[in-house]
A and B are shown apart, each in its own frame.
Chain A
Amino acid sequence: MRLNKIFSLTIFYLLITPFIVLILWSFTQTWPAGELLPSEFGFRGWRYILEPHSKVWHSLLVSLSLSGAVTLISLIISIPAGKAIAHYDFVGKSLVETLILAPIIVPPIAVGMGIHLSFIKYGLADSFLGVLLIHLTVTLPYSVRIFISVFKAAGTKWDEQGRTLKANWWARFRYITWYLIKPGLVTGSALVFNVSFSQYFLTFLIGGGKVITLPLILFPFINSGDRVIASSLSLIFILSSLFFMIIAEKCIEDNQRQSEFYYL
């Protein structure tokens, strides 16, 4: 038991200390080599974020609307798809299931590089729509799989009960299905949003610099080693995705708190 305690404390510190160092760096002015603490604190990183020219807010807005749209579309089209796979039997079902799992395994780098020129040709590159579509290919596997599990767990009995009580499809969706899929919606939106929100490569490649999201602003700073600005941007990043998750949880009340489960 004692060993377990030490173990869990270690894990806890391993999770927490990097955040503390990140916060420290974001408030650093000078942190000389070899010192354990910054010799001078400052707000250079945070000032950069607040300055209108840095486009941090603009990119945050783009990021939020892009990931928000991706989440919304992803979830909406995944609900019927998840139901179809969970409750229906049809020709080619296993093929469809494989197709839906595939983007988790096939690296996005192959998809992105393969389709890049065609996107340029058909005007989808450098556009919000193009980035949205390419994000969807990455997020759909997650959301569809979540809803497959949700519908499998719920079974068809509720729907059948609804039919015998003469509810039409909308009433069944509104009063039955909706409550069944709520936990899936919370988990799904958190997962999909963040997969899209932290996507760098595909946004960069397909967005071509026209669709500037937060990771695109952050990446050069990490690459160039400006630790102070990179740290404060990272914190903004983490905070906004946490914020979204909390909002999602609050908007879609989930009284049973089932949403803590991944349905993958």
Chain B
Amino acid sequence: MFKRYICIILALAVLISGCSTSAKPAEQQDLLTSDWETIVSTAEGTTVNFYMWGGDERINKWVDTYVSSNMKEKYNISVNRVPMDAAEFINKLLGERQVNRENGSIDLLWINGENFKTAREADMLWGPFAEKLPNFNKYVEKEAPDVAFDFGYPVNGYEVPYGKAQFVFTYDSAKVANPPKSAEELLQWVKDNPGKFTYPQAPDFTGSVFIRQVMYEVAAGYESFPEEIDEQRLEGQLEPLWEYLNELKPYLWRKGETYPPDLAVLDQLYADGEILMTMCYHPTRTAGLVEQGLFPKTSQTMVWEKGTIGNTHFLAIPFNASNKAGAMVVADFLESPEAQISKYDPLKWGDLLGIDINKMEKEYQDQVADIPLGEASLPASVLAAHRVPEIPAGYIPWIEEAWYKEVARGVGN
């Protein structure tokens, strides 16, 4: 009786483990020295596991349809999008690095900021591979500070620019006549309209950038953040920031007792009319949301007079990627003007170009100019004129933690 059970179990186990075949191992040692044709031919017919944040249906759809079908057509590569937050895949890689697991399941990553820094410092990324990609060489302005540095951390060819973002505020023009255009004005506005404003809690990406945005105006600009962190100096430096945020707190949504856990919730509050302003890192995202009927038609975006934080997000390949060649080919395609322009369309995604528009051919430049950005969006020139860079990545976890202690947990509350 029991022999039989055991046989069944064993059979099942074999059957099941058969299902989990990993991607075919490719010869990858010398990918960094081989030429592009070899890389492409190695990549053909493989599957690329693309790990990326999965909370935006439009971005998912863009990857799953546009990218996926192009890769299939051009190189017979299947792109397998895996939805996972950056913190989580970094953690996963960290575990794999610790036990030195070869043949990891991640081939391509969407990454930037402190996650890139962590990944680099723990030697979790493979490269430098950037200069292997023809489109990178052709269309990317390699010396530009927002491409050579990721939140102040040198990129060194371990990642390639995927797109650019700039922090903007969204407001309902039907309800807010004169939107606040600086930290000072915001404080006054929030005091005049209690309960109508809030920001996502750190370490949410957007919440975190809002805190830095305020920090630039009330405490210290990006210029005053050297690569080396001096905690004591920093504590003093940030004192006005916590003062400002705590002054704001009682007038926030829910009197600041709690904060929306992420951008999506903030957007939902805005869509439901609970608050009158939201914010995001994609300047044309609002237009897309209006178009989809999720946001009021009277929504508008704006930047602060002294500028808002802009940054670049990148693509990277983990140290143990099973299919590095495939990942490189996909990354190269994502660097192409076609992909970048498609991504730029607010209806598809609305992400700013990661490559340099001036390096593009004329026809592509015209295409970019022809894309309607939607009524809610600011013209590219306005955005460019109001862009300020990020601070070094190392400060970000520090600030986020300090925010939790100083503001969220509410010392003296």
Q: Which residues on A are within 8 Å of B, measured CB to CB? A: 29-30, 32-34, 40, 44, 48, 51, 53-55, 65, 69, 72-73, 76-77, 80, 116-117, 120-121, 123, 125-129, 132, 169-170, 173, 204, 208-210, 212, 216-217, 220-221, 223-227, 229
Q: How far is the CA of A210 from the CA of B20 in the complex (A)?
A: 9
Which of the residues B2, B56, B95 comes within 8 Å of A116, measured between beta carbons? B95
Bound state CA distance, A212 and B83, in angstroms?
9
Enumerate chain B residues within 8 angstroms of A125, measured Cβ to Cβ. Answer: 95
The answer to whether A170 and B1 have CB atoms under 8 Å apart is yes
The verdict on A29 contacting B1 (CB below 8 Å), with A120-B99, A208-B105, A216-B83 known, is no
* Residue of A33, A55, A129, A229 touching B13 (CB-CB under 8 A): A129
* B351 smallest CB distance to A (angstroms): 17
What residue of chain B has the Cβ atom nearest to residue A121's Cβ? B99
Q: How far is the CA of A204 from the CA of B84 in the complex (A)?
A: 9
B95 touches A120 (CB 8 A): yes
A215 to B17 CA separation, bound complex (whole angstroms): 22
When distances are taken between beta carbons in the complex, the residues of chain B under 8 Å from A116 are: 95
Rounded to whole angstroms, the CA-CA distance of A241 and B13 in the bound complex is 24
Find chain B residues with CB under 8 A from A216 CB.
83
Rounded to whole angstroms, the CA-CA distance of A51 and B58 in the bound complex is 13
How many A-B contacts at CB < 8 Å in the complex? 110
Whether A224 contacts B51 in the complex (CB less than 8 A), given A54-B64, A76-B8, A209-B105, comes out as no
Say yes or no: B268 contacts A210, CB within 8 Å: no
What 1/0 mask marks residues of chain B from 99 to 118 whose CB sits below 8 Å from any chain A CB?
A: 10100111000000000000
13 pairs, A vs B, C-beta closer than 8 Å: A33-B271, A33-B273, A40-B293, A51-B61, A51-B65, A73-B9, A80-B2, A80-B5, A127-B17, A129-B20, A217-B83, A220-B83, A226-B264
Q: B100's closest neighbor in chain A, by CB? A: A121
B61 touches A53 (CB 8 A): yes
**Which residues from 98 to 151 on chain B have a C-beta closer than 8 Å to any C-beta of chain A?**
98-99, 101, 104-106
Is A208 in contact with B92, judged by CB distance below 8 angstroms? yes
Residues on the A chain within 8 Å of B263, using CB: 224
CB-CB under 8 A from B357, the residues of chain A are: none
Taking CB atoms, residues of chain B closer than 8 Å to A51 are 61, 64-65
- CA of A170 to CA of B4 in the docked complex: distance in angstroms? 11
Residues of chain B lying within 8 A (CB to CB) of residue A53:
60-61, 64-65, 68
B106 cross-chain contacts in A, Cβ below 8 A: 209
| A209 pairs with B89, CB closer than 8 A | yes
B64–A55 touching, CB < 8 Å: yes
Q: Are A129 and B17 in contact (CB under 8 A)?
A: yes
A216 to B13, CA, bound (A): 24
Closest partner residue, chain A, to B2 (CB atom): A80
Collect the chain A residues with CB atoms within 8 Å of residue B8's CB: 76
**Binding site of A, secondary structure by majority: helix, strand, loop or mixed?**
helix
Contact A117 B98 (CB under 8 A): yes
Kindly report which residue of chain B lies nearest to residue A42, judged by CB atoms: B293
Give the Cβ gap from B328 to chain A, nearest Cβ, in Å.
20
Nearest CB in chain A to that of B267: its residue? A225
Q: Are B20 and A117 in contact (CB under 8 A)?
A: no
Pairwise interchain contact A224-B264, C-beta atoms closer than 8 A: yes
Cα A116 to Cα B92 in complex, Å, equals 9
B293 touches A220 (CB 8 A): no
- A24 CB → nearest B CB, Å: 15
A72 vs B57: C-alpha distance when bound (angstroms): 35
Cβ A209 vs Cβ B19 within 8 A: no
Q: Judge whether B401 is part of the interface by a CB distance below 8 angstroms.
A: no
Top 4 A-B pairs ranked by shortest CB distance?
Answer: A53-B64, A224-B55, A33-B273, A224-B264
Chain B residue numbers with a CB within 8 Å of A226 are 55, 57, 264
Q: Give the chain B neighbours of A221 by CB distance below 8 A.
A: 55, 57
Residues from chain A with Cβ under 8 Å of B55 in the complex: 220-221, 223-224, 226
A225 touching B268 in the complex, CB below 8 Å, given contacts A48-B57, A210-B49: yes
Question: Is B265 on the interface with A (CB-CB < 8 A)?
Answer: yes
Complex: chain B residue closest to A170, CB-CB: B1
The reply to whether A209 and B83 form a contact with Cβ atoms under 8 Å apart is yes
Apart from A53-B61, A220-B54, A224-B264, 16 more pairs, CB < 8 Å = A51-B64, A53-B65, A69-B12, A117-B99, A120-B95, A121-B99, A125-B95, A169-B1, A173-B1, A208-B92, A209-B49, A209-B83, A210-B105, A212-B83, A224-B55, A225-B267
